[in-house]
Homo-oligomer: A and B are copies of this chain.
Amino acid sequence: MYLYFMKPTTLKEIADKLNISTSTVSKALKNYPDVSKKTKDLVNDLAKTLNYKPNAFALNLRNKESKTIGLIIPEIVHHFFSSVIKGIVSEAEENGYLVIILQSNESYELEKKQIDLLLSQQVDGILISLANNTDDFTHLNEVIAQDKPLVMFDKIAKLVRCSKVIIDDRKAAYDATQHLIDSGCKKIAHFRGPHLAQNAIDRFLGYKKALLDNHLPFDESLVFFCQCDDDSFEEGVQNAQQLLKDHNDVDGIFITNDLIAIGAISAFNKLHIKIPEQIAIVGFSNWLMSAVISPSLTTVDQPGFLMGKTAFKQLYKEIKDRKANRPILFEEIILPTFLIKRASTKHRD
């Protein structure tokens, strides 16, 4: 069907109809004291009748505020990240902010371009979780140089001077590995994330430290790398098969995310390897499905929704502090995690 549409009402139309100037209309709408009550009433009534909406961009230009923030996230279709997005969006909306969302697809090049885009769009602040291959931080320092509030969350760069909202990946991984050791595992493998990702590095270090603290040998050939991208499930399957070929005496695995862990469980189920009797498994993130698969997965609960809310709150605080010309205090906020023990590990009380 073909249709033509009404154009939005302008200040000039209201002024023309009432035979007054547009500046009087503008002042009347803003309740300036130098406009009579009679004129104000006339203007307001007509504005209502014509469904006049003030031009938000004009308003924003004056306030030097866009009331929007930018969010760059590596991947949208991911239980943890979509929980973070939900936390950010809900907290932002509660405080009158809109969220522009961009996905870096785990690409440093795209992430860099997106930072430029958000700066040119004059968002009031930026929230970012880094791509796995980001190892140059010039684009982030540019945000800081432009006096634009920046808060990093989850996948952060330790060297960038801004606030950060994270979990203690090293401690969480240590506790997860310790749980495997406590339940009797002697030869524990690790499926880790990419080389450059800070959280992957920290989880690996936590795993390694737990082994050494318990006088178990650290063996590099038991550490498998994962890309942690769209094929995570398949990576879990492949690594599980390879691990069995290379080391059929492994009795535990600490895995850097639940989807890879679920891939591994699926592979072991098919090969009739008993979980946890032959191989115990701990995942990371407490994805919705971890409670549901068979056997259910012991995992580290990673508070995505809370992380999103906290990251926005910190950004909002810095936006307000800058506006008030208050000094900015960078904070590193560490959210608690805890191990959820389920059927994929043995429990000794």
Contacts and interface: CB of A to CB of B under 8 A. Distances in A.
Given A6-B145, A6-B146, A101 B120 contact: no
A327 B93 CA distance: 35
Contacts of A102: 89, 93, 98
B76 A86 contact: yes
A68 B120 contact: no
Contacts of A322: 5
Nearest to A147: B5
A121 B98 contact: yes
Report the contact-size class of chain A (Cβ under 8 Å from the partner): 35 or more
Interface string A81-93: 0110110011001
A217 to B, nearest CB: 33
A5 B144 contact: yes
A305 to B, nearest CB: 8
A185 interface: no
A58 B57 CA distance: 8
Interface string A1-41: 11111111000000000000000000000000000000000
Contacts of A328: 2-3, 5
Interface of A: 1-8, 51, 53-58, 60-61, 66-68, 76-79, 82-83, 85-86, 89-90, 93, 98-103, 114, 117, 119-122, 142, 144-147, 161, 233, 262-263, 266, 269, 288-289, 292-294, 322, 327-330
6 contacts: A1-B161, A3-B327, A56-B122, A57-B66, A76-B85, A99-B101
